[in-house]
Amino acid sequence: MAVGQTDFPVMPPINGVQLGTTNAGIKQTERDDLLVFQFSEIATCAAVFTKNAFCAAPVNLAKEHLLHAPRWLLINSGNANAGTGEQGMNDARQTCQNLAQIVGGQTQCVLPFSTGVIGQALPVEKMTIALPNAVANLAENNWENAARAIMTTDTFPKGVSKIITLNGENVTINGIAKGAGMICPNMATLLSFIATDAKISQPLLQHCLKATTELSFNRITVDGDTSTNDACVLIASGCSLAPEIIADSENYNIFADAILTVMKSLAELIVRDGEGATKLMRIVVSEAQNDEEAVQVAKTIAHSPLVKTAFFASDPNWGRILAAVGRAGVEAMELEKIRIYLDNVCIVRDGGRANDYTEEAGQNVMNQAEITIDVRLGRGNCSQTVLTCDFSYDYVKINAEYRT
């Protein structure tokens, strides 16, 4: 059961971007599991990928193909094509070649992406049979179908849309993402695809994506596990009437801020849909010496199974938060300066339990579905926020039965 409101938004078409889906029966036959993106010849494309050393075959191949002005994305759910060795690379190449033949393009202009079970061979034959139908379904208004086609253990499709104005002309940004478990991104999220009709060079688009990913998808965690298949792609079709976005301009700042807003919203939806999640926790660490220190403390709290299970039980066991801060690896902390709050309830001050803290006040906060853990280190002026969720019985059940 997801936390909070999760309705799929109205997403307007983006000129120069089409999406087509179909069911290939990769792991199930109830919904579509194959997605094709097609974008304009003048489009630019940027991407970031997982830093997991065992990155999946499609990740390796997408990195190669990104250098060849991509025109198509090919995404499947139900099978990660990870931990599959040279056969996995051959299978990924074959699927790209198959799509290229259908659309009359070049194999290296197709970026492949996969998500699902690790260690199983990609069902290339099933995908080959299904691909013509996905291409036949290409349309500008297929965003919700696309969001559903990339789901695995997700309980709802995730989408965000935003329109900005540059020099009096509209620029549209649409984004979809999937992810619910194995979420602790490192340069990307499980899978996210964002498209805009803006005109912008590939190097500047790549710069924008890297910067905004760091402040959005790299600030969430469900379970501390970084996937083998993480990838985030940003496509700019170049079909808007707005002028080309250039570096160090007001238009670039407006555009980058809008991309960050979309990506932060998608990242939050992933946490809201964390496997078995019943609560959303915002961990705000402020008064740090630098951003890295703030993230380090926040993620130590977010990754703590003891903290996460206490929140599931609505147990104001504040000592678990205190212990996580203490083991975060920050050197020379002055404990008397640290304050920790649950929402506006101070739980730690002057090196221990706050004198005015009451169990009743803590319990009232813990009963909420959305809670802020506010840690003030008293060391500097830097602040960062990390989003996470609780660990429930269902998290264990979902992952214990993932392959059955």
Segments making up each domain of the chain, as ranges = 17-272, 280-400
Q: What is the pLDDT along the chain (404 residues), one digit of tens a residue?
A: 689 878 999 999 999 999 999 999 999 999 999 999 999 999 999 999 999 999 999 999 999 999 999 999 999 999 999 999 999 999 999 999 999 999 999 999 999 999 999 999 999 999 999 999 999 999 999 999 999 999 999 999 999 999 999 999 999 999 999 998 888 888 776 799 999 999 999 999 999 999 999 999 999 999 888 889 999 999 999 999 999 999 999 999 999 999 999 999 999 999 999 999 999 999 999 999 999 999 999 999 999 999 999 999 999 999 999 999 999 999 999 999 999 999 999 999 999 999 999 999 999 999 999 999 999 999 999 999 999 999 999 988 988 887 76
**Secondary structure class of 49 (helix, strand, coil):** strand
CATH of region 280-400: 3.10.20.340
Q: Look at residue 4 in the predicted model and tell me its pLDDT.
A: 84
CATH class of the domain defined by 17-272: alpha beta
Q: Look at residue 1 in the predicted model and tell me its pLDDT.
A: 66
Number of H helices and E strands in the chain, helices first, is 11, 15
Contact 322, 348 (CB under 8 A): yes
Amino acid identity of 105?
G
Q: Look at residue 403 in the predicted model and tell me its pLDDT.
A: 76
CA separation for the pair 292, 41 (Å, rounded): 40
Q: What is the pTM of this model?
A: 0.95
- Residue 382 CA to chain centroid, in angstroms? 24
Amino acid identity of 114?
S
- 44, 115, 189, 196: which is the annotated catalytic residue? 189
144 closest CA partner among 166, 176, 167, 173? 176
196 is catalytic: no
User: Treating both helix axes as pointing N-terminal to C-terminal, what angle do 291-303 and 305-312 enclose, rounded to 10 degrees?
Assistant: 60
Q: Look at residue 401 in the predicted model and tell me its pLDDT.
A: 84
Q: If you search the block for the tokens 């299904």, which residue do you land on?
A: 130
Q: Look at residue 65 in the predicted model and tell me its pLDDT.
A: 98
Q: Look at residue 6 in the predicted model and tell me its pLDDT.
A: 83
**Secondary structure class of 64 (helix, strand, coil):** helix
Q: Determine whether 142 is exposed, middle or buried from the number of CB atoms within 10 Å of its CB (0-12, 13-18, 19+).
A: buried
